[in-house]
């Protein structure tokens, strides 16, 4: 399944800063995420 950043932000009632048309198709770890992956950030450090 593939979503744009704008679609994900809409589902989460979030705000996009930058190109919201980038497509996301997988999850990735923050330290090694690649193009097309998204990472979850819960640490205030990020």
Long-range contacts of 32-36 (CB under 8 A, 24+ apart): none
What is the pLDDT, as a whole number, of residue 43?
80
Q: Domain range holding 33?
A: 3-38
What is the pLDDT, as a whole number, of residue 21?
98
- The reply to whether 21 falls in a domain is yes
- The reply to whether 44 falls in a domain is no
The residues, ordered by sequence, that sit 6+ positions from 39 with a Cβ below 8 Å of its Cβ are: 27, 28, 29, 30, 33
What is the pLDDT, as a whole number, of residue 4?
98
What is the pLDDT, as a whole number, of residue 19?
96
- The reply to whether 16 falls in a domain is yes
- The reply to whether 10 falls in a domain is yes
- The reply to whether 45 falls in a domain is no
Please give the model's pTM, rounded to 2 decimal places.
Answer: 0.75
How many domains are there within the chain? 1
Q: What is the pLDDT of residues 8-45, one digit of tens each?
A: 999 999 999 999 999 999 999 989 999 999 998 888 87
What is the pLDDT, as a whole number, of residue 41?
84
């Amino acid at each position: 399944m593939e979503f744009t950043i704008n679609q994900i932000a809409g589902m989460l009632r979030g705000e996009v800063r930058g190109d919201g048309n980038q497509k996301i198709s997988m999850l990735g770890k923050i330290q090694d995420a690649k193009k097309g992956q998204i990472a979850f950030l819960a640490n205030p450090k990020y």
